[in-house]
Amino acid sequence: MQIDLSGRTALVTGSTQGIGFAIAAGLARAGARVAVNGRRQESVEAAIQKLEEDTEGGSFIPAPGDITSEDGAREVTGAVPDVDVLVNNLGIFGATPALEISDDEWRRYFEVNVLASVRMIRSLLPGMKDRAWGRILNVASDSAVVIPAEMIHYGMSKTALLAVTRGFAKEAAGTGVTVNSLIAGPTHTGGVEDFVYELVDPELPWEEAQREFMAKYRPQSLIQRLIEPEEIANMAVYLSSPLASATTGGAVRADGGYVDSILP
């Protein structure tokens, strides 16, 4: 399968580390010019330096800014106005007992995990429609479908993101622009390592801690391990490509078989 994104410009939000970083690298390897986003100029520059080392000949644009605010989003889109591929990856997560989630936390999770993506789509979809080609990908989670008892607010926000995806896919109908969600399963990132150690014995070696976490908190996984960010990126690159032209409005899984469902 030959994926060629030469001549395309991509923007990946929250791409200075973790899944977003891996997606930025994958898109660059496929030939896209990739705008790297983070809140601070310093973190964006450091990520680009690492990406250039990891991707021979990769082309990157710094696009710092906090997209959870309107001013920050304008700063980002101003740095890279003509975007062909938008990957809404920015998100927050954390464990909180259900009855202890405050009103402010409910609002914060919606603002960051849902409204920031809506804001970016609203800004960039019109240009894609005018050019009759575009790809929008919202990075969701297995938690959108299998709501975790320890982070209901996170699950709620990712469920809402699936609805946002389906609605904007209808808005883009017949324009050459596709809008999809990518349901990422439990993934091995630095933030997830911290999360795992919040739930299991922090004295355990990492491999043992991972096994205990999967057995106790994510037993539905069919691969019985955390997914590597590059495995999520592989699906993201495909969905961002011309080869995925008939896939839109969907919630496509790269979840290690975690969601116990035939569809999607």
pLDDT score, position 44? 98
Strand order of the sheet with strand 177-184?
59-62, 33-36, 9-12, 85-88, 134-141, 177-184, 251-254
In sequence order, what are the residues at sequence separation of 6 or more whose Cβ sits closer than 8 angstroms to the Cβ of residue 95? 150, 151, 195, 198, 199
Instruction: Select which of 154, 217, 238, 258 is catalytic.
Output: 154
pLDDT at 264 over 80: no
User: Can 258 be counted among the known catalytic residues?
Assistant: no
Identify whether 197 is part of a domain: no
**Domains identified in the chain, total number:** 1
Identify whether 200 is part of a domain: no
For residue 216, with 0-12 CB atoms within 10 Å meaning exposed, 13-18 middle and 19 or more buried, which class applies?
Answer: exposed
pLDDT score, position 81? 83
Query: Mean per-residue pLDDT for 136-152?
Result: 96
Question: What range does the domain containing 99 cover?
Answer: 9-187+227-254
CATH assignment of the domain containing 16: 3.40.50.720
Report DSSP state, residue 227: B
Query: Mean per-residue pLDDT for 90-117?
Result: 97
Whether the CB-CB separation of 12 and 36 falls below 8 Å is answered with yes
pLDDT at 28 over 80: yes
Identify whether 29 is part of a domain: yes
Alpha carbons 217 and 55: distance in angstroms, whole number: 35
Whether the CB-CB separation of 83 and 130 falls below 8 Å is answered with no
Query: Mean per-residue pLDDT for 48-76?
Result: 97
Identify whether 179 is part of a domain: yes
210-240, pLDDT tens digit by residue?
999 999 998 999 999 999 999 999 999 999 9
Identify whether 105 is part of a domain: yes
Least confident of 21-30, 53-62, 191-200: 191-200
Identify whether 4 is part of a domain: no
Mean pLDDT of the chain: 96
Query: Mean per-residue pLDDT for 32-40?
Result: 98
pLDDT at 12 over 80: yes
